[in-house]
Chain A
């Protein structure tokens, strides 16, 4: 085979990365590529993060070179023959030989380890934990060296140079470009999740629109954001329910819509990151920036009877740490929760340093999902504005800030699950504390800097209870007192409060002489202490006061958000021994793992600072992670194939230099624009190849990791539904809003203790894009599950694509697909000649010209169907779910359309 291009030069740095071991002309042993794999595979199970047998661990440099239990180090740099490690590898006594009870290391391995120690046992860093500053693009001269003319066309942009270099070294040639119709369908599905619309397709096919213009026009469509939102929402574990046993509904679709909007306006990825992880900590955050923080309110919320709210709050915090690292760093930090990482250089304590960043938000696993951002109606908003205007006009900045926050999201409050020493009453599982006559309880260590108003949420079924708030205990000074009467539902009230300047215990008591023992006279949900609204003496105070209480009690749509604890509510974070939240040890401060980029002293030590650390250009994993995953979305495989893990246990990248080059470009040239990144990928010659395969090529590269052919992958659950609706003309273009409920079989939802029902949507809501389908964690939409959609309970980085008979049953029999088939059939019925109709339907659905053999097969099906539908017996039966029976011809075409929608080429992006 002749070389089809000549590969001239790459920098040495790239060479080391690209060719790994084969570039070592000198005898120097490389730790990261030659030693670390041996340690990881052969030693670290017993001498690593979990076990440190004989006091020896090979996970960190200081441990490996430090003293073992014997009192001496096992590795003496520069002296292999004096090192216990090497001696043990040669040992004949099976009790002493290492690896213990495992086969002896090979000569080559022992030789490498020996030379490495003799050369100074230099500890190296894994490639994943540092990012080069610059990567040179391999250069080619296009001298007369192409095997075929089609290969000459291959190189379209920098991506292809890297791919070509690898292809050349593997003696492979790229495929010719895909046909226009194929590439148009492929790129439309990749960028918008839908096949191209007719106008665009025609303009491109006829040559009136260039490929680049096609790509630009797809990127500018609203359907782009809907497609890529599905990808992001899997990672964000977005769901319309809370999860766990009760799995009650959750109003959080505003977050989903925020994702779609942000992707559509191509919000730079660093900003996209900051707003989701720390939008609330930005100076004067906008409503959108608060909505963005719902990213981490997608954690589950346990309303099950008898569960400890603190346990599930901690579970959510842990989930946030793990998810942040899975989503942005391709790192399974979850392992470190119980012990130092078995393979990657992260220490046990570092997990809790990270947890400390997330441990101080107001949410406490409350059934109300507090804190929630309130969306006021325009009339309500007018009132809110009036109150805020009054407070800022007459009061201090501090008071104004308090009321802005309190009206926006009702925090900070002391939730009643914190009440201690409850007498004559009890905590009423999850919502409120119940008081009886002579009841009492205490909030400990309350500090409200001189608050003069007390707000509390309560309900009661009985009149005439006296509710008293005292300082510290039953003998303490009365700080506030009021009468409690019957309420309709639960309400928020405001009463005057006597100023206390230091920390104190808020002691609460209830009295009602008119009731028997153990009768519930008050349910108390929470208490808040604020400055009173100012200017009591001014005209209009009482009106504003009344409006305030009215607005606080107004019911509004909401979305759960992240809000940081005020100083006086701050939690301290402690290390959990072996990961158990009940066994806490050392107190820790927020910090990031040593192995990764350094902390900049200018960053605040909170979530915002953590986020700045993540999107710092010095972070070695953020850009690589994103680039790798966008690549995976498009090619069905990451440059690092383990897209959830880039670290010492991940697969080595198929094209390391390409990954780094793209990561650097993504940050520096594309300025974190995901659209630019996606465009660069789909503009490449690598992407534009046809995806045809041969047994020889398949043998050589079954997973297409060399990219000698274009991607060919099954569509996602969402794409399969959306495409069926699109080609049949049923798809609604309506965007945003609460989750919709397209038809699903009866009896799918059987949730314990919840009256939630699947109420079939009407009108165009039945035909919305899949991303808007109501997502219930304990019972996701069944046809999505069949096509590998997840249940969104935890962060999911990758859906494993499977191929099962249950999928065939969905597209053959699910009424959604039957309806689509029937609609497509109606659109196919244009001629007396069934061949024309079939051809039209096939081409409309697959965007490819029908072959005679395929036409023959479909025609045979049509004729069989027609014969059957014309028979007397079949004529009498109902057809599909249709009220009115169609003609035999249309029924037969419907069967054909159903078959078309089940073809591999329809379900696959080729």
Chain B
């Protein structure tokens, strides 16, 4: 891993020679002769065409709801990669260094901390649990990173930590919903849906909002965490899968060649054009457009989702496992997707719920293994984007739905089989990296045992306001009219976290 930078250089040189392939995909309809109708409706290569202003007429967006729109303010980034550790990682073993807690290991938790608090599983008076990892200051910033994340120190100066994030939810489902939709109850659009609604997509051959999952399960809150809520469903996340069709129903049926599919779509669109002549309904034009896009998507998606053809050294750098579902694969895919202009890439990795009831769910053994699964890929992702000059156009967000208690869990009033921590929303760590982010910053501080934030506390709404700010939106003005009132991602709260902005 030490020669990571070397590996990237080597790859970039090689890739420069074979750039044409991906270029074809981006140039969408131009290769498609008879299907070039789309050029009537939109610039074919959105990267080259001038940006359309947000004031574009409705009818244009009706034809293509993912047409690119410029945000109202100058954006710092074009794309977001959001890495969510579902189950909630322990900040106390990863980034929030608490030497005092080590000294207090095994002692009863002070009553003052427990009064008026609700926990998911802790009962009575739990004991404090010292950090199960060792911490060191890393990089020029001198920010703390634990020995569970040995590679991460290489990029520690690229990220900005939020050490005192808080949430009012302490159950997975509602907390994940809150983290991704700004509301613990169902029915609101996810951040990715807001971003795609507001900005459209830079690549018309790929979905604008892609979701990748690993860890064997989808998030606790289900698909609503990438849902579109009351926004049109076209803005919901599209789950790209590692097995089967990467996008549902993408693959042509057996015995239908590409040629035949092209003939089919030609025939459909010819007839639809005749229908348009009769009914003059722009929906028909939109449908013609969508069929062309579907055809192109059938090429573009497998292409971008295929990591087998990536050079060995890149695969090695991320630690990918081709053919399997893994977080490492998803990190590499995330890079490919933002490189191709996908607006929002959401990674969910399941398996971070370390209660101490089973070995995999312990904060020493299990957590260490989970950290191993993400440490290298995340480091590689940041370095890879950086070397390609993409990091400045991309925002990476890392976090869980809440944090974990400084106390050892005592579910059912009993000592647990392994060392574990309960759900904790009062203080936990997230970090961001990429365009517009102050490199090496660390904002917020928790008390001596990491129970509560004592400085720079930020809420989930603040995190959302900051993400929208970096995408070029004022979160208070970015609204959608529904049920007689304007709705916001941040509801009636949220402040941009200026302290971590460059």
Residue B27 at the chain A interface, CB threshold 8 Å? no
> Which B residues are CB-close (under 8 A) to A791?
186, 222-224, 227
Known: A809-B248, A818-B253. A904 touches B272 (CB 8 A): yes
B224 touches A793 (CB 8 A): yes
Minimum Cβ distance to chain B for residue A724 (Å): 14
- Which 8 pairs, one residue from A and one from B, show the smallest C-beta to C-beta distance? A778-B222, A306-B120, A649-B484, A808-B294, A879-B255, A805-B294, A645-B484, A245-B173
**Nearest CB in chain B to that of A873: its residue:** B257
A895 touches B264 (CB 8 A): yes
Q: Which residue, B256, B266, B267, has most C-beta atoms of chain A within 10 A?
A: B267
Interface string of B398-420 (1 = CB under 8 A from A): 00000000000000111000000
Known: A518-B414, A791-B223. A809 touches B280 (CB 8 A): no
- Give A416-470 interface residues, CB cut-off 8 Å to B: 425-426, 428-429, 434
Stretch in A143-151, A185-193, A382-390, A689-697 touching the partner: A689-697
- Give B214-249 interface residues, CB cut-off 8 Å to A: 216-224, 227, 230-234, 236, 238, 241, 243-245, 247-249
**Nearest CB in chain A to that of B491: its residue:** A338
A794 touches B268 (CB 8 A): no
B186 touches A793 (CB 8 A): yes
A745 touches B483 (CB 8 A): no
A335 touches B234 (CB 8 A): no
**Nearest CB in chain B to that of A907: its residue:** B287
**Nearest CB in chain B to that of A908: its residue:** B283
B249 touches A810 (CB 8 A): yes
Minimum Cβ distance to chain A for residue B462 (Å): 19
Interface of A is mostly: loop
A308 touches B118 (CB 8 A): yes
A752 touches B217 (CB 8 A): yes
B244 touches A800 (CB 8 A): no
> Which B residues are CB-close (under 8 A) to A874?
255, 257
CA distance A751 to B120 in the complex (A): 21
Residue A50 at the chain B interface, CB threshold 8 Å? yes
Residue B271 at the chain A interface, CB threshold 8 Å? yes
Residue B456 at the chain A interface, CB threshold 8 Å? no
B254 touches A858 (CB 8 A): no
A750 touches B217 (CB 8 A): yes
Interface string of A816-857 (1 = CB under 8 A from B): 001000000000000000000000000000000001011001
State the total of A-B contacts with C-beta under 8 angstroms: 256
> Which B residues are CB-close (under 8 A) to A793?
186-187, 224
> Which A residues are CB-close (under 8 A) to B267?
857-858, 860-861, 899
Residue A566 at the chain B interface, CB threshold 8 Å? no
B283 touches A903 (CB 8 A): no
17 A/B residue pairs, CB under 8 Å, sorted by A: A245-B172, A304-B171, A308-B118, A649-B484, A693-B280, A778-B223, A780-B223, A785-B233, A793-B224, A810-B248, A814-B249, A851-B274, A861-B267, A877-B255, A878-B254, A885-B255, A902-B268
CA distance A83 to B492 in the complex (A): 32
Contacts A342-B485, A814-B249 known; list 18 others, CB within 8 Å. A307-B120, A648-B484, A694-B280, A745-B249, A747-B243, A752-B218, A778-B221, A783-B249, A807-B290, A808-B293, A808-B294, A810-B249, A813-B250, A813-B251, A858-B267, A879-B255, A895-B256, A899-B268
Interface string of B273-287 (1 = CB under 8 A from A): 011001111111011
> Which B residues are CB-close (under 8 A) to A429?
121
A778 touches B218 (CB 8 A): yes
Residue A884 at the chain B interface, CB threshold 8 Å? no
CA distance A578 to B253 in the complex (A): 55
Known: A791-B224, A812-B294. A745 touches B250 (CB 8 A): no
**Nearest CB in chain B to that of A695: its residue:** B280
Residue A674 at the chain B interface, CB threshold 8 Å? no
- Give B473-487 interface residues, CB cut-off 8 Å to A: 482-485
Residue A106 at the chain B interface, CB threshold 8 Å? no
Residue A880 at the chain B interface, CB threshold 8 Å? yes
Residue A723 at the chain B interface, CB threshold 8 Å? no
Residue B10 at the chain A interface, CB threshold 8 Å? no
CA distance A902 to B267 in the complex (A): 10
Interface string of A641-657 (1 = CB under 8 A from B): 01011011110000000
B412 touches A426 (CB 8 A): yes
> Which B residues are CB-close (under 8 A) to A877?
254-255
| Count of residues in B whose CB is under 8 Å from the partner chain | 89
A806 touches B247 (CB 8 A): yes
Q: Residue B281 contacts which of A245, A712, A853, A899 (CB distance < 8 angstroms)?
A: A712
CA distance A861 to B263 in the complex (A): 6
Q: Residue A794 contacts which of B186, B236, B253, B297 (CB distance < 8 angstroms)?
A: B186
CA distance A584 to B361 in the complex (A): 37
Minimum Cβ distance to chain A for residue B182 (Å): 15
Minimum Cβ distance to chain B for residue A177 (Å): 16
B238 touches A304 (CB 8 A): no
> Which B residues are CB-close (under 8 A) to A858?
267, 271
CA distance A870 to B371 in the complex (A): 56
B291 touches A905 (CB 8 A): no
Q: Residue B413 contacts which of A426, A799, A865 (CB distance < 8 angstroms)?
A: A426
Known: A315-B185, A778-B218, A806-B247. A692 touches B254 (CB 8 A): no
A779 touches B222 (CB 8 A): yes
Known: A306-B170, A806-B247. A857 touches B270 (CB 8 A): yes
> Which B residues are CB-close (under 8 A) to A745?
244-245, 248-249
CA distance A761 to B290 in the complex (A): 32
> Which A residues are CB-close (under 8 A) to B256?
880, 895
Residue A868 at the chain B interface, CB threshold 8 Å? yes
Q: Which residue, B251, B252, B255, B482, has most C-beta atoms of chain A within 10 A?
A: B255
Q: Residue A747 contacts which of B174, B241, B291 (CB distance < 8 angstroms)?
A: B241
A854 touches B484 (CB 8 A): no
Minimum Cβ distance to chain B for residue A837 (Å): 15
| Count of residues in A whose CB is under 8 Å from the partner chain | 106
Residue A777 at the chain B interface, CB threshold 8 Å? yes
CA distance A202 to B218 in the complex (A): 50
Minimum Cβ distance to chain B for residue A237 (Å): 10
Known: A245-B173, A315-B185, A746-B244. A804 touches B254 (CB 8 A): no
- Give A873-910 interface residues, CB cut-off 8 Å to B: 874, 877-881, 885, 891, 895, 898-899, 902-905, 907-908, 910
Interface string of B63-80 (1 = CB under 8 A from A): 001000000000000000
A332 touches B485 (CB 8 A): yes
Known: A802-B65, A858-B267. A747 touches B297 (CB 8 A): no
Residue B423 at the chain A interface, CB threshold 8 Å? yes
A802 touches B217 (CB 8 A): no
Minimum Cβ distance to chain B for residue A629 (Å): 14
Known: A745-B244, A899-B267. A910 touches B238 (CB 8 A): no
> Which A residues are CB-close (under 8 A) to B249?
745, 783, 806, 809-810, 812-814
Residue B259 at the chain A interface, CB threshold 8 Å? yes
> Which B residues are CB-close (under 8 A) to A647?
484
CA distance A557 to B406 in the complex (A): 46
B280 touches A803 (CB 8 A): no
Residue A349 at the chain B interface, CB threshold 8 Å? no
> Which A residues are CB-close (under 8 A) to B51?
none
Residue B161 at the chain A interface, CB threshold 8 Å? no
Residue B344 at the chain A interface, CB threshold 8 Å? no
Residue B22 at the chain A interface, CB threshold 8 Å? no
> Which A residues are CB-close (under 8 A) to B230?
800
> Which A residues are CB-close (under 8 A) to B233?
785, 788, 799-800, 802, 804
B484 touches A642 (CB 8 A): yes
CA distance A650 to B485 in the complex (A): 9
Residue A305 at the chain B interface, CB threshold 8 Å? yes
Residue A363 at the chain B interface, CB threshold 8 Å? no
**Nearest CB in chain A to that of B259: its residue:** A868
CA distance A898 to B484 in the complex (A): 42
> Which B residues are CB-close (under 8 A) to A803?
62, 65, 234, 283, 286-287, 290
A752 touches B485 (CB 8 A): no
Minimum Cβ distance to chain A for residue B197 (Å): 11
A891 touches B255 (CB 8 A): yes
> Which A residues are CB-close (under 8 A) to B114?
none
